[in-house]
Amino acid sequence: MELFTNQVLAGISTGAIYACMALAVVMIYQAIDHLNFAQGEMAMFSTFISWQLMQWGVPYWGAFVLTLVLSFIGGIAIERLLFKPLAKAPILTNVAGFIALYSIVNSVAGLIWDFTIKQYPTPFGSYPFLGSQLISTHQAGMIGVTILLLIGLFFFFRFTRMGLAMRAAASLPESARLVGINTSWMIALGWGMAAAIGSIAGMMIAPVVFLEPNMMLGVLIYGFAAAVLGGLTSPLGAVIGGFLVGIMENLAGTYIPGAGNELKLPIALALIIVVLVVKPAGLLGRPIVKRV
Amino acid sequence: MTAMLNVRDLRAYYGQVQALHGMAFDLSEGSMTTLLGANGAGKTTTLRAICNMVRSTGTIEFEGAPLIGRPTESIVRLGIAHVPQGRGTFTTMTVEENLQLGAITRTDRAGVVSDIERMYDHFPVLKDRYTQQAGTLSGGEQQMLAVARALMLRPRLMLLDEPSFGLAPLIVRDLFKILGKINREDKVTILVVEQNAQLALELADKAYVIETGRIVMSGSASEIANNEDVRKSYLGY
Ligand SMILES: Nc1ncnc2c1ncn2[C@@H]1O[C@H](COP(=O)(O)OP(=O)(O)OP(=O)(O)O)[C@@H](O)[C@H]1O
Ligand SMILES: [Mg+2]
């Protein structure tokens, strides 16, 4: 029983990171109908920036906030320079854009900071949380930060004018323009927020997976899985999907004989495919109806 | 009266297909004007061209400001509200959020709050449903919501594309009464496309008749209503 609780809690803490990545992916998908394959690399790059800031002597939380701001600006810049010009281009052109972004960010990070693995600090320490062996303080911290982020986003989208405008632009761009919303800037803002959310995921997971240019590859696959599982059209679904994927991954690794660390990813993904066969739009997603 | 909107030599294109062939008309400030025409004549296209939602050439001036080439959202910010054909309701949002979106460009919070109350007075069904998802409203209720949302902008000019579509005859009368009131009391200039030509001609000051992207007749609403051809084609007697 203790093993079970332990695995579920560990699943929730990595699930929190998948939830953040899924949320970032959904945010951009809502805005431009494309999956951002480079979301993980953007998060990795942000994490390196925070690391560099700390190397220069900036304290942890100062570096954290500064990285959030820089990532937000960087996300907007990427949209303005690369994806705004591609807005009317065919799907494959956009896919090529994402792949280009992926490899550019990855190589530039390698060029600046090289490919050796680096230690990354945690502000929460790694002690037993509240004296319990079930979960560490860093894991508890990851869950806490994610929950704060989700509450903040909820209030932003529910109760602010900007949040309302962003939702309107994502759901019906033409109607949004007809009430005076600059939908093009809402898309850029979505990119900025997605980049900032991704940077939180990167900074939180870095102490666990260590810092290196390929650190987010696995995390992003789980994040995609979470987004698809929850429904690409539903931010809440993406978050729930993130936690579910985290839990499934850990339970599969522990309880399915012979699965171990190697097979837990395919098993978790197989479970998700089963869900999608039954419910193609994901757990909370709307069926996707394309306008013509 | 001075013209608020001047349209000259307006041509509009869907890809290679030309839908408007050199339209010219004026809307004078404070007037209510109706556009009549058969299905496919180009009424919707005309309204879309004013808001730059279809590729067009020619000149459109709103109080001296050229509209062609200006982004839709910035045209709206000049005070032009458009109730599109098919309503454009934000179906996944609540009724109240739809009304707030109508006023999203405004900064006078108190004014917005009191205008929402005003809309609930005009359209009491909306008040009963204000926390409901707009997509769950009936077609007629959504039509009222679309008009209310446009009014939340406090527009100077309002473009309405078949506002009576799907409404019961009694409700249509009510809706037009409200539009008349808004036109007279709030001094909102109105351009309305309407299948119910009789009702539109009763309320409007001026009318234009369109055929295949050209204006073929224009005059005061009563002149047009008494025209033999118009009566045969659009009024059915
Ligand atoms: N998206 C489009 N693509 C191509 N052609 C279009 C498009 N929309 C309209 N048209 C064409 O432009 C012409 C004018 O259409 P428009 O929608 O303006 O007519 P309408 O007068 O509003 O008709 P209705 O009374 O049926 O609403 C029609 O011939 C129509 O086929
Ligand atoms: Mg039409």
Mean pLDDT of A180-194: 96
Is the CB of residue A5 less than 8 Å away from at least one CB of chain B?
Answer: no
Residues A46-66: tens digit of each pLDDT: 999 999 999 999 999 999 999
What single letter denotes the amino acid at residue B80? Answer: I
Share of chain B above pLDDT 90, in %: 73
SS3 category, A281: coil
Which residue from B73, B82, B90 is facing A171, i.e. has the nearest CB? B90
Nearest-by-Cβ selection for A177 from B73, B91, B149: B73
* Ranges A57-66, B30-39, B176-185, most confident: A57-66
Residue B197 has pLDDT above 90, yes or no: no
pLDDT, position A12? 93
Give residue B224 CA to ligand 1 midpoint distance, Å. Answer: 24
| Dmax (CA) of chain A | 58
Residue of A30, A160, A175 to mutate, interface with B, max B Cβ within 10 Å = A175
Residue A4 lies in a domain: no
Decide if A177 is inside a domain: yes
Structure confidence at residue A287 (pLDDT): 62
Band of residue A78 on the pLDDT scale cut at 50, 70, 90: very high
pLDDT computed for residue B228 by the predictor = 81
Which of B71, B92, B101 minimises the CB distance to A179? B101
The predicted pLDDT at position A61 comes to 97
Distance B48 CA to ligand 1 centre (A): 10
Structure tokens at A276: 């999608």
**CB B159, CB B51: distance < 8 Å:** yes
Q: In the prediction, which pLDDT does A69 show?
A: 98
Evaluate if residue B1 carries a pLDDT over 60. no
CA B85, CA A116: separation in Å to the nearest integer? 60
Poorest-confidence range of A96-110, B12-26, B168-182? B168-182
pLDDT of residue B236: 66
- What is the model's pLDDT at position B226? 87
Q: Which mutation among B11, B13, B14, B18 tests ligand 1's pocket best, with the greatest number of atoms within 8 A of CB?
A: B14
- Domain encompassing residue A195: 19-216
Of A173-177, B6-10, B205-209, B229-233, the least confident: B229-233
Would you call B92 helix, strand, or coil by DSSP? Answer: coil
In a domain, A242, yes or no: no
Instruction: Tell me the β-bridge partners of B115.
Output: none
Higher pLDDT, A264 or A163: A163
What pLDDT score does A290 carry?
A: 45
Kindly give the distance from the C-alpha atom of residue B17 to the centroid of ligand 2, in angstroms, as a whole number: 16
Predicted local confidence at residue A292, as pLDDT: 39
Which residue's CA is the nearest one to ligand 1's atom 18? B42
Number of structural domains chain A divides into: 1
Distance between first and last Cα of chain A: 53
Residues 6+ apart with CB under 8 A from B164: B143, B172, B175, B176, B194, B195, B196, B199
Query: Which DSSP string do the residues of A109-173 spell out, in sequence order?
Result: HHHHH-SS-B----TT-SSEETTEEEEEHHHHHHHHHHHHHHHHHHHHHHH-HHHHHHHHHHH-H
Q: Using one digit for the tens of pLDDT, what is the confidence trace for A117-168?
A: 999 999 998 888 877 778 899 999 999 999 999 999 999 999 999 999 999 9
For A84-93, b/e burial (b = at least 16 CB within 10 A) is: eebeeeeeee
User: Is some CB atom of chain B closer than 8 A to the CB atom of A87?
Assistant: no
- Asked, for residue A229, whether it belongs to a domain, the answer is no
Task: Report the pLDDT averaged over residues B22-35.
Answer: 95
Residue of the nearest CA to atom 31 in ligand 1? B40
Q: To which H or E segment does residue B170 belong?
A: helix B169-185
Task: Specify if A139 maps to a domain.
Answer: yes
Sheet holding B214-220, edge to edge: B80-83, B157-161, B189-193, B32-37, B206-211, B214-220
Q: What is the pLDDT of residues A198-241, one digit of tens each?
A: 999 999 999 999 999 999 998 999 999 999 888 888 888 999 99
- Per-residue pLDDT at A254: 81
- Taking only the tens place, the pLDDT of each residue in B60-119 is 999 999 999 999 999 999 999 999 988 899 999 999 999 999 999 999 999 999 999 999
Residue at A173 is within a domain: yes
Q: Which phi and psi (to 5°) does residue A28 adopt?
A: -75, -35
Number of other residues whose CB lies within 10 A of the CB of residue A286: 14
Distance between A266 CA and the closest CA of chain B, angstroms: 35
Task: Count the helix, strand and coil residues of chain B and give each as a percent rounded to the nearest 5.
Answer: 40, 30, 30
Contacting A residues, span 157-176, partner chain B, CB-CB under 8 Å: 161, 164-165, 167-168, 171-172, 174-176
Q: Which distant-in-sequence residues (6+ apart) come within 8 Å of A146 by Cβ?
A: A16, A17, A19, A20, A200, A204
Tell me, in angstroms, the distance from the centre of ligand 2 to residue B37's CA: 9
Q: Which residues surround ligand 2, an ion (CB under 5 A)?
A: B 44, 85
Judged against a pLDDT cut of 70, whether residue A289 lies above it is answered with no
Chain B residue with Cα closest to A172: B90
The dihedrals phi and psi of A137, each to the nearest 5 degrees, come to: -65, -35
**Residue B17: predicted pLDDT:** 95
Answer whether residue A155 is part of any domain: yes
Task: Give the 3-state secondary structure of residue B188.
Answer: coil
Q: Within a domain: residue A24?
A: yes
State in Å, rounded, how far the first CA of chain B is from the last one. 33
- Residue B217: strand pairing partners: B209
Res. B167: pLDDT tops 90: no
Report the range of poorest mean pLDDT among A8-12, A253-257, B137-141: A253-257
Closest among A127, A142, A153 to A246, alpha carbons compared: A142
What pLDDT is stored for residue A177 in this prediction? 96
What's the distance, CA A246 to chain centroid? Answer: 13
CA–CA–CA angle B37, B42, B43 (5° rounding) = 65
* Nearby residues of A3 by Cβ (< 8 Å), 6 or more positions away: A254
What's this model's pTM, rounded to 2 decimal places? 0.89
Q: Which residues contact A54 (CB under 8 A, 6 or more apart)?
A: A60, A63, A121
Residues B44-58 have a mean pLDDT of 96
Q: Find tokens 């979470």 and name the residue.
A: A226
Residue A291 has pLDDT above 50, yes or no: no
Q: Whose CA is nearest to atom 12 of ligand 1?
A: B19
- Selection from A215, A216, A243, A218 nearest residue A229 by Cα: A243
Mean pLDDT of chain A: 90
